[in-house]
């Protein structure tokens, strides 16, 4: 069975656009810049649990919540007022939302309160349905789709198609994202997407120029959204899909309700291609998560992270201990490990395809897509964004591979450091995970060996911290490789598609759950 899907990656927005309409009118990207010790550096938002158990989506920063939660340690509560203690408990309750579920009790901001989402075909909170009822919520007629974009009610605003092959227009997108996409609460760290990363993310095989759209006022690009085609499998259903990314609105225009207009327009463009569903992510609760995962962080250069305020010294510790704790060998140790080459494409593609079949939700890559996402060509003139390594046995067979991609954050106003370089786990696969029956212990041992090598190589390439969400089989190596849990959560949603909650690697208390793996095999940039 083949359906059609759109994948929406919604951008981060700041305080200006939030308030009571936060979840209805704008959404968080779910990509949070978090410290390696779990201190959230993203401008995220958490709910505040009020006395009667209702959830009020208020603008309490996750960094503040993290600080309050730290102070709930019984040894440290003596210096807190009763009000601060209450805030800490409330923030903790929300930060540790039940994985894959909406918070229990009455939800103040229910679907009817979501001005935008209540008009969309999305699952309702606490909706019950049978497994044979999983699937599309609506089946629209392509003839009913408007041939024109929605009107922009603000004088001087106009729709534009952005040509990313044009250096001038690419620079406009780069500048918009650099200054308006994601920034931490204190304004000291800001994501910096290099142009090579933007090309890699938005110009994959089959990319469509008309799916890179923006809004201008005069000569200024003030809003942007993009999409790329993918094929997505949800359980037994394979869907023609698109992945929407880099939704960004200029900070001064966050109150102009441009986010729902951008979502409507990218939906319309995908609908014109016969694509009716969507998969998207947010760091806040919307109607209704199908997967909830948690970010984990592993310092590679702890001293630098400490100096820029990205990490902190735990109580009863000292900097020298932390530096030693996160030290790594100077060389990778796995026999047969080497950088991926073009001749490995067929083997890597086959291995990845078989490995992803283990998960409930995963992409279906062609070999061309595998090449695009994983293979770095040494003759390329572009800045490098992805690193992939394979393990070759004595018979020249590829038995394992792993990959990571890199992203920089500008450090604003620091006298010594200008950037923090972050590596993110990307796709990996191992023959150890393909045995019948699965030998989970053998897979855990193998993944720990592979990911230890990934950490060593990432540090060799100058990265300062290594981030990984609790998806795929990451839960088998996160603790042993000294990843610390962050406060950031990432919720996955399906638009116009109903499916029961899927395991995201954390339990109902938001703790790592090795028995709750195998749900998600899709990595969202």
- In tens, the pLDDT along 89-113 reads 444 334 333 333 333 333 435 666 6
How many angstroms separate the CA atoms of 120 and 513, rounded?
A: 33
The pLDDT value recorded for residue 78 is 42
Confidence class for position 493, pLDDT limits 50, 70, 90: confident
What's the per-residue H, E or C state across 116-140? CHHHCCCCCCCCCCCHHHCEECCCC
The pLDDT value recorded for residue 243 is 86
Diameter of the chain measured on Cα atoms: 67
The pLDDT value recorded for residue 406 is 96
The pLDDT value recorded for residue 121 is 87
How many angstroms separate the CA atoms of 183 and 181, rounded?
A: 7
Quickly list H helices, 272-392: 302-307, 319-325, 345-356, 367-374
Which has the higher per-residue pLDDT, 510 or 71? 510
Strand partners, 423: 406, 466
- Give the distance from CA 495 to its chain's centroid: 17
- Let me know if 98 is exposed, middle or buried by CB neighbors in 10 A (0-12, 13-18, 19+): middle
How many angstroms separate the CA atoms of 183 and 185, rounded?
A: 7
Helices (H) and strands (E) in the chain, counts: 11, 19
The pLDDT value recorded for residue 525 is 86
How many angstroms separate the CA atoms of 264 and 276, rounded?
A: 12
Q: Find the mean pLDDT for residues 348-373.
A: 97
The pLDDT value recorded for residue 69 is 39
Say whether 438 is catalytic.
Answer: no
The pLDDT value recorded for residue 40 is 31
- The alpha carbon torsion through 316, 320, 321, 324 (nearest 10 deg) reads 170
- Give the distance from CA 428 to its chain's centroid: 17
Query: Tokens representing 131?
Result: 């497994």
pLDDT digits (tens, 9 = 90+) for 332-360: 989 999 999 999 999 999 999 999 999 99
How many angstroms separate the CA atoms of 213 and 247, rounded?
A: 10
pLDDT digits (tens, 9 = 90+) for 175-230: 999 989 876 655 667 788 899 999 999 999 999 999 999 999 999 999 999 998 99
- The Cα-based distances of 511 to 349, 398, 475 in angstroms read 33, 34, 10
pLDDT digits (tens, 9 = 90+) for 441-482: 999 999 999 999 999 999 999 999 999 999 999 999 999 999
The pLDDT value recorded for residue 111 is 61
Secondary structure (3-state) at 356: helix
Task: Return mean pLDDT, the chain.
Answer: 80
Which has the higher per-residue pLDDT, 72 or 466? 466
How many angstroms separate the CA atoms of 357 and 342, rounded?
A: 24
Q: Is the pLDDT of residue 284 over 60?
A: yes
DSSP string, 193-251: --HHHHHHHH--TT--GGGEEEEEETTEEEEEEEEEEEEEEETTEEEEEEEEEEEEE-G
pLDDT digits (tens, 9 = 90+) for 399-458: 999 999 999 988 888 889 989 999 999 999 999 999 999 999 999 999 999 999 999 999
- The answer to which of 22-36, 108-122, 336-350 has the lowest mean pLDDT is 22-36
How many angstroms separate the CA atoms of 269 and 272, rounded?
A: 5
Gyration radius of the chain over CA positions? 22
Look-up of token digits 């024109």? 148
The pLDDT value recorded for residue 183 is 65
Secondary element (H or E) of residue 282? strand 277-282
Phi, then psi, of 154 in degrees rounded to 5: -100, 125
Q: Is the pLDDT of residue 31 over 60?
A: no
Strand partners, 519: none
The pLDDT value recorded for residue 486 is 87
Question: Percentage of residues in the chain with pLDDT exceeding 90?
Answer: 56
pLDDT digits (tens, 9 = 90+) for 134-171: 999 998 899 999 999 999 988 999 999 999 999 999 99
Helix axes 82-95, 62-70, angle to 10 degrees: 120
Neighbours of 141 (CB within 10 A): 7
From the candidates 68, 176, 490, 525, give the one annotated as an active-site residue.
525
Query: Would you say how long the chain is, in residues?
Result: 525
Which has the higher per-residue pLDDT, 15 or 300? 300
How many angstroms separate the CA atoms of 92 and 47, rounded?
A: 10
Question: Strand runs (DSSP E) across 396-469, as ranges?
Answer: 398-411, 419-430, 465-469
Q: Find the mean pLDDT for residues 289-311.
A: 92
Q: Find the mean pLDDT for residues 119-142.
A: 87
């Amino acid at each position: 069975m083949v359906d059609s899907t759109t994948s929406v990656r919604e951008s981060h927005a700041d305080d200006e656009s939030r308030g009571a309409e936060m979840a209805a009118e704008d959404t968080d990207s779910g990509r949070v810049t978090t410290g390696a010790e779990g201190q959230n550096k993203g401008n995220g938002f958490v709910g505040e649990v009020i006395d009667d158990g209702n959830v009020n989506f208020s603008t309490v920063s996750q960094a503040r919540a993290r600080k309050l939660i730290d102070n709930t340690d019984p040894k440290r509560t003596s210096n807190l007022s009763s009000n601060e203690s209450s805030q800490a408990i409330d923030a903790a309750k929300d930060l540790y939302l039940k994985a894959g579920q909406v918070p229990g009790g009455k939800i103040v901001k229910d679907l009817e309160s979501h001005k935008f989402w209540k008009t969309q075909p999305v699952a309702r909170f606490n909706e019950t349905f049978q497994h044979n009822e999983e699937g599309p919520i609506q089946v629209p007629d392509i003839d009913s789709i408007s041939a024109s974009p929605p009107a922009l009610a603000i004088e001087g605003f106009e729709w534009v198609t952005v040509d990313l092959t044009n250096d001038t227009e690419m620079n406009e997108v780069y500048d918009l994202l650099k200054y308006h996409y994601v920034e931490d609460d204190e304004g000291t760290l800001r994501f910096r997407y290099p142009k090579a990363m933007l090309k890699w993310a938005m110009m994959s095989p089959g990319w469509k120029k008309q799916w890179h759209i923006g809004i201008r006022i005069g000569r200024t690009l003030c809003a942007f959204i993009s999409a790329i085609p993918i094929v997505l499998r949800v359980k037994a259903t394979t869907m023609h899909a698109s992945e929407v990314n880099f939704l960004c609105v200029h900070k001064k225009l966050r109150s102009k309700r441009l986010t729902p207009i951008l979502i409507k327009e990218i939906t319309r463009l995908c609908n014109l291609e016969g694509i009716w569903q969507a998969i998207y992510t947010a760091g806040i609760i919307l109607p209704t998560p199908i997967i909830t995962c948690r970010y984990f962080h592993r310092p590679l250069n702890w001293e630098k992270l400490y100096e820029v305020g990205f990490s902190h010294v735990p109580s009863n510790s000292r900097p020298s201990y932390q530096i030693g704790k996160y030290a790594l060998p100077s060389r990778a140790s796995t026999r047969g490990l080497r950088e991926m080459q073009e001749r490995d494409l067929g083997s890597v593609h086959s291995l990845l395809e078989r490995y992803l079949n283990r998960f409930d939700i995963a992409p279906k890559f062609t070999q061309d897509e595998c090449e695009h996402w994983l293979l770095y060509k040494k003759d390329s003139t572009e800045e490098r964004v992805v690193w992939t390594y394979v393990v070759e046995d004595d018979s020249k067979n590829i038995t394992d591979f792993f990959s990571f991609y890199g992203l920089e954050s500008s450090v604003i106003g620091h006298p010594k450091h200008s950037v923090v370089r972050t590596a993110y786990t990307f796709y990996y696969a191992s023959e150890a995970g393909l045995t019948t029956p699965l030998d989970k212990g053998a897979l855990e041992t193998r993944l720990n060996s592979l990911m230890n090598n990934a950490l060593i190589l990432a540090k060799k390439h100058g990265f300062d911290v290594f981030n990984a969400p609790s998806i795929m089989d990451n839960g088998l190596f996160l603790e042993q490789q000294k990843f610390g849990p962050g406060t950031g959560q990432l919720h996955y949603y399906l638009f116009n598609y109903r499916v029961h909650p899927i395991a995201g690697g954390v339990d109902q208390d938001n703790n790592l759950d090795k028995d709750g793996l195998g749900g998600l095999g899709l990595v969202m940039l």
